[in-house]
Amino acid sequence: MAEQIDQIADLITNRVLDEVKVGRFYKFIMPNVVLVGEGATIKLGAEVQKLGKKRALIVTDRGITSLGLHSTTMSSLEQAGIEVEIFDGVKADPDIEVVEMGLKFAKEKGTDIVVGLGGGSPLDVAKAIAFLLTNPGTIRDYEGIELIGNHRQPLVAIATTSGTGSEVTANAVITDPAINKKMIISSHALVPDIAVVDPRLTKGIPAKVTAATGIDVLVHAIEAFISKGSITISSALAHRSIKMVAENLPLAVGNGEDMDARHRMAIASLMAGMAFSNVGLGACHATAHQLGTTYKIPHGVANGIMLPAVMTFNSLVCRDRLREIAAAMGERVEGLTDREAAARAIGAVKNLTAEVGLPTSIREVGGKEEDFRQMALNALEDPTLLSNPRQASLEDLIEIYRLAL
């Protein structure tokens, strides 16, 4: 783990150095093709056909198949002459067993292209299956950064929630139940070849899920915006994403039929995903991963609880950025000091989380202070911590949990 953390630190440092060099050279990674808009899924078959593959595996969950949300994807592929199989055994916070089941199924069916369909969980499993089809060992061997040696099978990611941004990111999160820990696999090999953002697929999502995934978008955008690896492109994407979430998430939660709001949330998720995939996240994700695993709560809910406390901790070193966040969220910051504006940003985040009906404290989800030390120890080893703008010690992380209690 120490070696992996050093590799991540080197990567982030190199990105920061690249940004300040003359010419501001850096690499920005995203899918080759991004299909966006209502009905975009219909166009998928034609794009996959160009890749020359014949046997697709749709990786999803039973909620998706029971609602028939896979039908357009399946029809588009079949009309393009591609054989389709479905693995719908993915569950929330997928673990190693789910990945191994899906991988076995993919091998049995001779899969040569993997299509993830769903929220973050199915997309993460799809990514894992795609690279394990062409790489040796087990998924535990790839925890960390840029450890995938062989190119994976072609990969398509279709988002059915406006939250994780996984359709455009270089990350996958899989739980190791043996140690009750979320493994983070980060590699440019995990960026899908084709990403599909079709707002119609999000229409039937319950309000609570819309709220949790929407707050997840906000966290992705804010952490990318203040990341120590932040670059010009990521900042622009993240800033716009913050503004769009603040304006549209309450509308999407309040009226699930508001397709304009859902469309804008889908775009916000896409932009935030591209931003953080290139510059990293921070202490909010590092602490939220442990909160979610310990108390079995959705990732977006955990992120929403932790974000104000983490922003408070980080405010010593990025008040100017927090001022911009406050303004993007509709707060009036003219005439305020940076300290006052930063407080407005933190308050705006907390208010939005409460407005969409999510818990704002650890106590509300059954959390106990006696768990904080172990959670902080695990957070200290979480790779996302490395791009946080302020270095955090074990005691700092414990105090962040206390602040969120």
Q: Determine the 3-state secondary structure of 182 from DSSP.
A: strand
Position 25 confidence tier, pLDDT thresholds 50, 70, 90:
low
pLDDT mean across residues, the chain: 90
Scanning 84-194, the segments in alpha helix (DSSP H) are: 96-108, 120-132
Scan for tokens 């982030």, then name that residue: 12
Contacts of 64 (CB under 8 A, 6+ apart): 70, 88, 117, 118, 122, 160
* CA dist., res. 158 & res. 371, Å (int): 36
**Could you tell me the two tokens for 394?**
């074990």
* CA dist., res. 21 & res. 61, Å (int): 46
Tens of pLDDT, residue by residue over 225-272, are 999 989 988 999 999 999 999 999 999 999 988 999 999 999 999 999
Contacts of 391 (CB under 8 A, 6+ apart): none
120 to each of 124, 207, 239, how far by Cα in Å? Answer: 6, 17, 22
Mean pLDDT value across residues 213-222: 96
Tens of pLDDT, residue by residue over 79-135, are 999 999 999 999 988 999 999 999 999 999 999 999 999 988 999 999 999 999 999
Q: Which of 12-16, 146-150, 176-180 shows the lowest per-residue confidence on average (mean pLDDT)?
A: 12-16
Q: Give pLDDT, residue 17.
A: 52
- Structural domains in the chain, CATH included, are 33-202 (3.40.50.1970), 222-404 (1.20.1090.10)
Mean pLDDT value across residues 367-376: 96
Q: Give pLDDT, residue 4.
A: 46
Which phi and psi (to 5°) does residue 35 adopt?
A: -100, 120
* CA dist., res. 307 & res. 63, Å (int): 29
Q: Give pLDDT, residue 119.
A: 86
80 to each of 35, 73, 330, how far by Cα in Å? Answer: 17, 11, 46
Pick from 83, 91, 136, 89: nearest CA to 113 = 83
- Contact of 214 with 162, CB cutoff 8 Å: yes
- Contact of 164 with 127, CB cutoff 8 Å: no
Scanning 80-206, the segments in alpha helix (DSSP H) are: 96-108, 120-132
Position 158 confidence tier, pLDDT thresholds 50, 70, 90:
very high
Position 10 confidence tier, pLDDT thresholds 50, 70, 90:
low
